[in-house]
Amino acid sequence: MQIILFRHGDFYDWETNTQVNFDAVRSAVTIGSYDGVHLGHRAILARLVKSAKKQGLRSVLITFEPHPRLVLRREKKRQLKLITTFEEKKSLLAPLGLDVVLVLEFDKAFSEIPAQTFVKDILVKRVGLADIVIGYDHNFGKDRQGTIETLNSLSQLYGFTVEETAEQLVHGKHVSSTIIRGLLEAGEIDEVNHLLGRPFRLTGKVVEGFKVGRTIGFPTVNLELTNPYKLIPKSGVYVGDVSINGVCYRSMMNIGFKPTVTNEHKLSIEAHILNFDKDLYGQTLSFALIYRIRDEIKFVNLQALKTQLESDKRVAASFKREFTCF
């Protein structure tokens, strides 16, 4: 899978940032933000790859960076948070059989391109559009004016076919990035993982905390997230899995404000890793969240917190679910 960036009319290799030739080759294309790469997304991508193979076309996922809703002013009031960072998206897309992920650099100027111009000047002339697989409700171009009808009306003129996909239900349920964001905010991690088809992950660097954890027998890694736009699920205590040097460990995580030990209203993400006792400062760790145990509580003292942590540890240790590290 090649990752190509399209910026101000030129193509660049995503990894090296060097300009590359990206010839318009007859391509089967789909377009979208694909935040989360959830099971609905996967169904569309599987259809795209299959259809491209059958017709001898190049398969291309066209996506945007930054996420359009992070760029357009009307969204600024309440900053959009993402289910997957671009790094995560890349590794989730890699095994799906796509030939190319074409990342269109999204800025104000790009958002002003009318839908018909986008189809003609970018999809047809620069990418080589021969077939487009598109969701029944997809909108694109300036003011989201482009619809499936726009594509249908241009298809004869430019010689491409339009494959409309019906809503992809997951075990009979609606699935969308918006639904999943809402479930994360509600702490419904089981449901989130069900719709993603894999566990939701938080990745960050281990930084120093207050050093209180070890004094009560529960050292905790404090995670500084690598990406500020990542959506942090509802506060509370979760069971998680983490891979360290190729070994998968079960852990218990707290997302919250540690009200028992501090009045600073600063959100922290930390984890006590079961059956582990080495220094992890400076390492980057990725936690899969698999179960939500409880809400965060303000305890009267550290002893009461410790008693609760012992109980949480029993829950995490006896949690029957299989390990979910890569």
Residues of this chain that interact with ligand FMN (CB under 6 A) are 209-213, 220, 222, 237, 252, 254, 258-261, 270-272, 296-299, 305, 309, 312
Contacts (CB under 6 A) with ligand ADP, residues 183-242: 206, 208-211, 213-214, 219-222
Residue 279 lies near ligand ADP (rule: CB under 6 A):
yes
Smallest distance from ligand FMN to CB 279, Å: 13
Minimum CB separation of residue 282 from ligand ADP in Å reads 9
- Residues 6 or more apart whose CB falls under 8 angstroms from that of 178 comprise none
| Spatial CB neighbours of 268, under 8 Å, sequence gap ≥ 6 | 209, 222, 254, 255, 256, 257, 258
| C-beta closer to ligand ADP: residue 258 or 292 | 258
Q: Which is nearer to ligand FMN, 84 or 324 (CB)?
A: 324
- Output the smallest distance, CB 98 to ligand ADP, in A: 37
| 281 is an interface residue for ligand ADP by CB under 6 A | yes
Among 86, 276, 299, 319, binds ligand ADP (CB under 6 A): 276
Q: Shortest gap between Cβ of 305 and ligand ADP (angstroms)?
A: 13
Amino acid in the structure at residue 90: K
CA distance 36 to 6: 22
Q: Which amino acid is at 312?
A: D
Residue 114 interacts with ligand ADP (CB under 6 A): yes or no: no
Please provide residue 293's backbone torsions phi and psi, each rounded to the nearest 5 degrees: -85, -50
Interface with ligand ADP, residue 273, by CB under 6 A:
yes
- Phi/psi at 230 (nearest 5 deg)? -70, 135
Q: Running DSSP on this structure, what letter comes out for residue 300? A: S
Of 199 and 240, nearer to ligand ADP (C-beta) is: 240
Q: Which helix (H) or strand (E) holds 12?
A: strand 10-13
**Among the residue ranges 56-64, 176-184, 273-281, 295-303, the one whose residues contact ligand ADP (CB under 6 A):** 273-281
Cβ closest to ligand FMN, residue 74 vs residue 211: 211
Q: Quick one: which of 58, 67, 272, 292 contacts ligand ADP (CB under 6 A)?
A: 272
One DSSP character per residue, 142-203 reads: GGG-B-HHHHHHHHHHHT-EEEEEPP--BTTB---HHHHHHHHHTT-HHHHHHHHTS-EEEE
Q: Which does 27 bind (CB under 5 to 8 A by kind): ligand ADP, ligand FMN, none?
A: none
CA distances from 234 to 71, 77, 185, 323 (A): 25, 20, 5, 22
For the CB of residue 220, give the shortest distance to ligand ADP in the complex, in Å. Answer: 4
Asked if residues 192 and 179 have their Cβ atoms less than 8 Å apart, the reply is no
User: 66 or 259: whose CB is closer to ligand FMN?
Assistant: 259
Choose among ligand FMN, ligand ADP, none what residue 208 binds, the Cβ cut-off being 5 to 8 Å by kind: ligand ADP
- Yes or no: say if 240 and 223 are a contact pair by the CB < 8 Å rule: no
* 3-class secondary-structure state, position 96: helix
278 binds, among ligand ADP, ligand FMN, none (CB under 5 to 8 A by kind): ligand ADP
Q: How far is the CB of 280 from ligand FMN (least distance, A)?
A: 12
Residue closer to ligand ADP, measured from CB, 27 or 220: 220
Distance CA 119, CA 259 (A): 53
- H helix or E strand, kind and range, residue 11: strand 10-13
Contact positions vs ligand ADP (CB under 6 A): 206, 208-211, 213-214, 219-222, 272-273, 276-281
